[in-house]
Amino acid sequence: MTTSSTESSSFAGTKAVDGSGTTRWASAEGAGQQWLRVDLGRIATVHRIKVDWEAAYATKYRLEISDDGVAYSTVVAVDNGDGRTDDLAGFTARGRYLRFVGLTRATQYGYSFWELQAYGSITGDSQTGWPGGAAVTVADGTNVFGENLSGLSFEGPDVLWAVKNGPGTLYRLVRDGTLWRPDAIGGRAVNYRDGSGDPDAEGVVRTPDGLLVATERDGDDDGTSLAKILRFDPASTAKSLNATAEWDLTDDLPAVDANSGPEAISWIPDSFLTAQGFRDERTNAPYTPSSYANHGTGLYFVGLEDNGMVYAYALNQSGGTFTRVAAFAGGFPTIMDLEFEPETGLLWSVCDDTCQGRSATLSITNGKFTVSHTYDRPAQLPDYNNEGFAIAPQSTCTAGRKQVVWADDGNDGGHALRAGTLPCTAPAQPG
């Protein structure tokens, strides 16, 4: 991230891409033409850009893109800016460096915006076919779940958790030959901590802390965004579960439509993050777990459907309080699920039919998760609205492959689960 100027260190350029709607970049007051440049990390295809202006907006500006950071081409030219959020689309641009150039100020101050967001995908030789087998098979009985099955998470070789929304439901699935079926308890209704509501359950992850579920609204008030993470007891045999803890992220995340909030959740242990030099964007220093009291032994990574961003949180396990540690792009304009694969050290980001069912892997580079590779869906996996994705434990490897499972929100053909494979070693990366 580089800029022509900043008003002060409190308004650094990084504030414009930190995923927060409460921090901003501001250029020096009274200066003329000013710019801000974002390094996307790799060549990317961009098809939409949002600029969320503060009061010091531009009436005239350009958005440019470049492969090398030297020669730029104009993507969009705005000549009548009004200070509202500019949501610009209807183009396809390719490059690594995205640059805002402010030409005419609306005020005596500089240029200032809360967020600059680019939507698209990593392109070029980093995108290849699915690294596992081409074959995909049905993995559930006919019409067992119906529509709205979403996030998935393995607990062990023979236990797979799933969540469904409308109404919010948790399933503990067990192997039944080549299929997965609900255990004897069946669907477990989920409630907020006080026993109320219908949490719109979208993502789930089984961790040492319990079962953590990402929700984006209360089904009893489905027109209002309510971005909460809920924890449930995986050992409970009750048919209706109250959360044992909850964290309300609504005010910390960008304001989004009620149906575009937290869609995915994953967990990564502190031991891995520190060994890889993960950086804490709050302190601008290497991540130090001891700085976050009672947060357990890892961080939670939450994927926002609206913008494809991933937000890393230290959740105080008493419930209620949390601290955002980092935010980064997940590789697609929207995210449906996140899955950490400990054996390879890769964080998988999964898109649905919005992105033709593609997946991305992210690894830590220079302290930050960045996209290392993108993959097409398996040849035999239809382009359905797959909102869940889980990778079986390494202990299940047979002939060098392990199972992966997708959850289809649409229950196409009467089936919500489909299974494929991945190699038990890290997929080869292009040179």
How far CA 12 is from CA of 55, 250, 283, in Å, comes to: 17, 24, 14
Let me know: does 217 contact 180? Beta carbons within 8 Å. Answer: no
8-state DSSP, 430: P
- pLDDT confidence of residue 70: 79
Query: Residues in the chain with pLDDT < 50?
Result: 124-125, 430-431
Let me know: does 263 contact 214? Beta carbons within 8 Å. Answer: yes
Let me know: does 292 contact 280? Beta carbons within 8 Å. Answer: no
**Dihedral angle, C-alpha 185, 188, 194, 198, nearest 10 °:** -160
Q: Which residues contact 343 (CB under 8 A, 6 or more apart)?
A: 394, 424, 425, 426
Strand segments, DSSP code E, in 8-72 are: 25-26, 34-53, 58-66
- pLDDT confidence of residue 122: 65
In angstroms, the CA 404 to CA 377 distance is 12
- pLDDT confidence of residue 128: 81
In angstroms, the CA 333 to CA 355 distance is 8
Q: For the chain, report the end-to-end CA distance as a whole number of angstroms.
A: 26
- pLDDT confidence of residue 431: 39
8-state DSSP, 260: S
Write down how long the chain is.
431
- pLDDT confidence of residue 90: 85
The Cβ-side half-sphere exposure at 139, using a 13 Å CA radius, reads: 24
Let me know: does 111 contact 55? Beta carbons within 8 Å. Answer: no
- pLDDT confidence of residue 96: 86
- pLDDT confidence of residue 333: 83
Let me know: does 348 contact 426? Beta carbons within 8 Å. Answer: no
